[in-house]
C-alpha cells in the first residue's frame, strides 16, 4: 500500500512537472511572463534582491506601494501593468513573430528552390557546351577523313612558300602541316579560298 502511494505521488509530481514545463515554454505563456517581468521589473527587483532591513516598514507594504489604489486611474494603471499591458504585448509578439517565422521559412525554401534551379541550369549549360565541343570534334574528324593532307600537294606547296617555317623546340615544321594538325578549320578555309581562286583564274583564262 505504501509503495503504491509512493508510485502515485511520483506520477503526480512527474505529470505536474511536465505540464509546468510545457506551459512555461509555450509561446503564449513564455511571452506573457517575459512581458509581465518587463512591465513590473521594479517589483521583481525589490522582491528578489532588496533586503527588507533597508525598509522602515514591512517589505510587503513596500511592494504594495508599487500598485497604489488611491484613485480610479491608479486602478487603471495597475490593471495595465499587471494584466492588459503584458497581454497586449504577448499578442503582438506572437502575431509578429509568427509572421516573421513564416516569411523567413518561405524565403529559405525559396532560396533552396532557386539554388536547385540555378544548379540544374548550370548543369544543362555545361552539357550543351560539352555537346557542342563533341559535335565540333566529330565534324573536324569527319572533314579530316574527307580532306587529307597528302591529297593537296599544290596547296601545301603554295602555303609553305607563302609562310615561314614553323619552329617548335628547335624542330622545324612545314606551315601547311602545322596548320592542318593544330587548326584544321583554318586549314580548311585557306584550302577553299585557294581552290576558289584557282577556279576563278581558270574561268577568266
Check pLDDT > 80 for residue 176: yes
- 85 is a domain residue: yes
pLDDT band at 27 (very low <50, low <70, confident <90, very high): low
The H-or-E segment that residue 138 falls in is helix 85-146
For the residues 109-135, what does the mean pLDDT come to? Answer: 83
Residue 95 and residue 172 share a domain: no
132 belongs to a structural domain = no
Instruction: List, in sequence order, every residue forming a beta bridge with 167; answer none if it has no partner.
Output: 172
Indicate if 21 and 94 belong to the same structural domain.
yes
Whether residue 130 lies inside any domain: the answer is no
Domain termination site, one of 113, 141, 176:
113
Q: Please enumerate in sequence order all residues whose Cβ is within 8 A of that of 67, keeping only pairs 6 or more positions apart, or say none.
A: 43, 74, 78, 81, 82
Contacts of 191 (CB under 8 A, 6+ apart): 147, 152, 155
For residue 73, being part of any structural domain is answered with yes
* pLDDT band, very low/low/confident/very high, at 20 (cuts 50, 70, 90): low
User: Does the structure show a pLDDT above 80 at 125?
Assistant: yes
Q: How many CB atoms lie within 10 A of CB 62?
A: 17
Q: Are 15 and 68 members of one domain?
A: yes
Domain boundary (89, 113, 137) is at 113
- Do 149 and 156 touch, CB atoms closer than 8 A? yes
159 within a domain of the structure (yes/no): yes
Q: Are residues 108 and 169 in the same domain?
A: no
Task: Please tell me whether residues 94 and 173 are part of one structural domain.
Answer: no
Q: Which of 113, 132, 161 is the last residue of a domain?
A: 113
Please, which residues have CB within 8 angstroms of residue 36's CB and are 6 or more apart in sequence? 82, 86
DSSP structure class, residue 53: G
Range with top average pLDDT, 12-26, 89-103, 158-172, 187-201? 158-172
Residues 40, 98: one domain? yes
Range of the domain at 34: 2-113
Q: Which residues pair with 173 in a beta bridge?
A: 166
Each residue of 51-78: pLDDT tens digit? Answer: 666 555 666 666 667 777 788 888 888 7
CA triplet 151, 154, 158: central angle to 5 degrees?
130
109 and 154 inside one domain: no
Roughly how many angstroms between the first and final C-alpha of the chain, as a whole number?
130
Same domain for 9 and 68, yes or no, is: yes
- Whether residue 98 is predicted with pLDDT greater than 60 in this model: the reply is yes
For residues 9 and 100, state if they share a domain: yes
Q: Judging by DSSP bridges, how do beta strands 171-173 and 166-168 pair with one another?
A: antiparallel
Is 108 among the domain residues? yes
Q: Does residue 43 surpass a pLDDT of 80?
A: no
**Any domain includes 139:** no
Domain-located, residue 72:
yes
pLDDT score of 56: 56
Same domain for 108 and 161, yes or no, is no
Residues 85 and 173 in one domain: no
The number of folded domains in the chain is 2
pLDDT at 102: 78
Q: Does one domain contain both 25 and 89?
A: yes
Amino acid at each position: 500500500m505504501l509503495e503504491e502511494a509512493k508510485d502515485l505521488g511520483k506520477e503526480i509530481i512527474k505529470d505536474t512537472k511536465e505540464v509546468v514545463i510545457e506551459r512555461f515554454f509555450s509561446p503564449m505563456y513564455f511571452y506573457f511572463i517575459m512581458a509581465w517581468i518587463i512591465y513590473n521589473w521594479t517589483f521583481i527587483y525589490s522582491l528578489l534582491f532588496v533586503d527588507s532591513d533597508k525598509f522602515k516598514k514591512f517589505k510587503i507594504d513596500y511592494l504594495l506601494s508599487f500598485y497604489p489604489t488611491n484613485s480610479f486611474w491608479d486602478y487603471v494603471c495597475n490593471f495595465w501593468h499587471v494584466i492588459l499591458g503584458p497581454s497586449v504585448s504577448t499578442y503582438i509578439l506572437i502575431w509578429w513573430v509568427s509572421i516573421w517565422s513564416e516569411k523567413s521559412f518561405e524565403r529559405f525554401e525559396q532560396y533552396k528552390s532557386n539554388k536547385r534551379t540555378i544548379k540544374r541550369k548550370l548543369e544543362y549549360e555545361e552539357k550543351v557546351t560539352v555537346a557542342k565541343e563533341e559535335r565540333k570534334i566529330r565534324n573536324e574528324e569527319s572533314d579530316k577523313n574527307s580532306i587529307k593532307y597528302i591529297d593537296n600537294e599544290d596547296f601545301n606547296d603554295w602555303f609553305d612558300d607563302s609562310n615561314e617555317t614553323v619552329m617548335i623546340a628547335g624542330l622545324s615544321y612545314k606551315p601547311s602541316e602545322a596548320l592542318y594538325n593544330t587548326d584544321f578549320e583554318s586549314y580548311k578555309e585557306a584550302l577553299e579560298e585557294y581552290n576558289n581562286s584557282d577556279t576563278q583564274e581558270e574561268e577568266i583564262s
